[in-house]
């Protein structure tokens, strides 16, 4: 087994970077880089499962894969299960910033891509 490395980024440093504010998009971005998962599928899954407080489940398994891929030990301040269950957004930010520290840039989807502009038509009243 490969030697475990320390994390470059702290778990609770999520407020250090304002570019990582949408958890679902950031989660999808992370897992796409971890194992080439479908971005839209993972974003939708995270959102749907979040409505019933279960988004931590795929996040937990993807975090394990993330640690295996980069030979990282569990964060000493908080293991994978508590990190994803109780500190999910912070864990996602930590993973994104860790990926960035390893040379993977963050991908952002423009709101123009997500939502098409629908023209507003005013009806005349008599």
Residues 62-118 pLDDT 10s:
999 999 999 999 878 889 999 999 989 889 988 998 998 888 766 655 444 444 444
* Cβ–Cβ under 8 Å, residues 106 and 19: yes
Question: Which of these ranges, 1-10, 51-60, 101-110, 114-123, has the smallest mean pLDDT?
Answer: 114-123
d(C-alpha 36, C-alpha 46), whole Å: 16
d(C-alpha 2, C-alpha 92), whole Å: 24
State the pLDDT at residue 49: 92
* Cβ–Cβ under 8 Å, residues 87 and 18: no
The pLDDT confidence band at residue 61, using thresholds 50, 70 and 90, is very high
pTM of the complete model beyond 0.85:
no
Residue 9 has pLDDT above 70, yes or no: yes
Phi, psi of 38, rounded to the nearest 5 degrees: -70, 125
Higher pLDDT, 12 or 35: 35
**Residue 72 DSSP symbol:** B
Mean pLDDT, all residues of the chain: 81
């Amino acid at each position: 087994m490969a030697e475990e490395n320390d994390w470059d980024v702290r778990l609770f440093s999520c407020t250090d970077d304002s570019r990582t504010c949408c958890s679902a998009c950031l989660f999808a971005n992370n897992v796409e880089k971890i194992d080439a998962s479908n971005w839209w599928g993972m974003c939708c899954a995270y959102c749907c499962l979040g409505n019933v407080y279960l988004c931590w489940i795929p996040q937990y398994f993807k975090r394990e894969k993330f640690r295996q891929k980069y030979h990282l030990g569990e964060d000493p301040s908080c293991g994978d299960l508590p990190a994803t269950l109780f500190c999910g957004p912070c864990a996602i930010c930590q993973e994104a910033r860790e990926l960035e520290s390893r040379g993977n840039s963050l991908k952002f989807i423009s709101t123009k891509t997500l939502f098409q502009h629908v023209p507003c038509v005013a009806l005349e009243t008599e």
